[in-house]
Amino acid sequence: MSDNTLTVTEVVNSVTVTPVNNTVTVSEVGTQGPAGTNGTNGTNGATGATGATGATGATGATGSSGVVTVNAPLTNAGTSSAANLSVSTGTTSAVGVLQLTDSISSTSTTTAATANAVKSANDNGILFGPLKFQSGIYYKTALTSFGTVSLTHNTVAYTPIFVPEQTSFDRIAIYTQTISGSTSARLGIYSNVNGRPNTLILDAGTVTVSASSTTYTITISQTLERGFYWLALGQQGTTPTTATYLGTASTSSGLNPFLPAQNLATNSVFLGYLSTGVTGAFASTVSPTFSTNGVPYVYIRST
């Protein structure tokens, strides 16, 4: 190469270039060679920005309240976060809770008798009894015999009576046979426990007794439930010369159906109970003894 001339000798797949005035002239281009192998992948570009939030979907169905469901007799007045459970009151037509009671005279249909109430009913024989008491009528013990009976001074005699249902009474009374002089008769009512007078229910006070064949009464206001009771007469105060009362004498025949007891050793019938040495108000509780002597009748009047 000289004088700024470049000579390229043509060979297959080659080009001859002749430089003229600093110019390269290509007189012929050969065929393109095969493509080269792919280069390696470039690194991933940066993550694009988050797209806009889509529209809110439709509201789902309302769920359950969450309040606990209960069955009768339970009720729940609470909420899903605070239960308020209770039990319905039982009746004759619906199950439920019942209040226990010792009453042997209640007519409630929403209470239940205790074992004590059942025992009391049996002890007092209230599964049977006489007919309903009528207003304005006097009632006494079940003995039907009548005789003349004396009572030792400062002694209280008790006779049994059965009240068939809750009943109110406005009088308590005795009937004299023969009176000489005067004395005081104290009248009252005791409860029945195990077939004996026990707890004082009513001390009606005293009435002065001074005439024969006379009814003596004391006004009272006393309601008794169904069951057995003991009517009491105490003779006290001034000692009379003679004082006898209408009652059942020791020689009377027949047992008191409320007191079917008899002393077989003497063939004497038990007619009631007696307490001795009683000079004033009746005792709150008593433990009297059986009497085979006559006992005076005490009456109460139903309203």
CATH number (domain holding residue 298): 2.60.120
Q: Measuring CA to CA, how many Å separate 251 from each of 24, 147, 175, 274, 283?
A: 176, 9, 20, 18, 30
For residues 263-274, one letter each, b for 16 or more C-beta atoms within 10 angstroms of the residue's C-beta and e for the rest, the string is eeeeeebbbbbb
Flag whether 272 is in a domain: yes
- 93 is a domain residue: no
What does the alpha-carbon distance between residue 135 and residue 221 come to, in Å, rounded to a whole number?
14
DSSP tag of 300: E
Amino acid sitting at position 43:
T
pTM of the model: 0.61
Q: Of 62, 66, 296, 60, which is closest to residue 173 (Cα–Cα)?
A: 296
**Number of other residues whose CB lies within 10 A of the CB of residue 129:** 16
Is 107 domain-assigned?
A: no
The rounded distance, in Å, linking the Cα atoms of 178 and 14 is 178
pLDDT tens for residues 127-181?
Answer: 555 689 999 999 999 887 888 999 999 999 999 999 999 999 999 999 999 999 9
Query: What's the pLDDT score for residue 133?
Result: 95
Residue range of the domain that includes 166: 138-302
What pLDDT does 24 receive?
52
CA distance 169 to 167: 7
Nearest to 99, CA basis, from 85, 90, 112, 115: 112
pLDDT on residue 95: 79
Position 252 in a domain: yes
Residue 20 maps to a domain: no
Q: Give the 3-state secondary structure of residue 51.
A: coil
- Under a CB-based contact definition with an 8 Å cutoff, are residues 147 and 252 in contact? yes
pLDDT at residue number 269: 74
Rounded CA separation 190/284 (Å): 9
The reported pLDDT for the residue numbered 99 is: 86
Q: Is 296 helix (H, G, I), strand (E, B) or coil?
A: strand
Give me the residues of the chain with pLDDT under 70, please. Answer: 1-30, 63-65, 80, 105, 120-130, 250-255, 260-267
What is the enclosing helix (H) or strand (E) of 119? Answer: helix 115-123
| pLDDT given for residue 216 in this prediction | 98
Contact 221, 171 (CB under 8 A): no
Name residue 172's amino acid: I
* Residue recorded with tokens 């004391």: 218
Residue among 110, 91, 113 nearest 102 (CA): 113
The total number of structural domains in the chain stands at 1
Note whether residue 185 is domain-resident: yes
d(CA 165, CA 228): 11
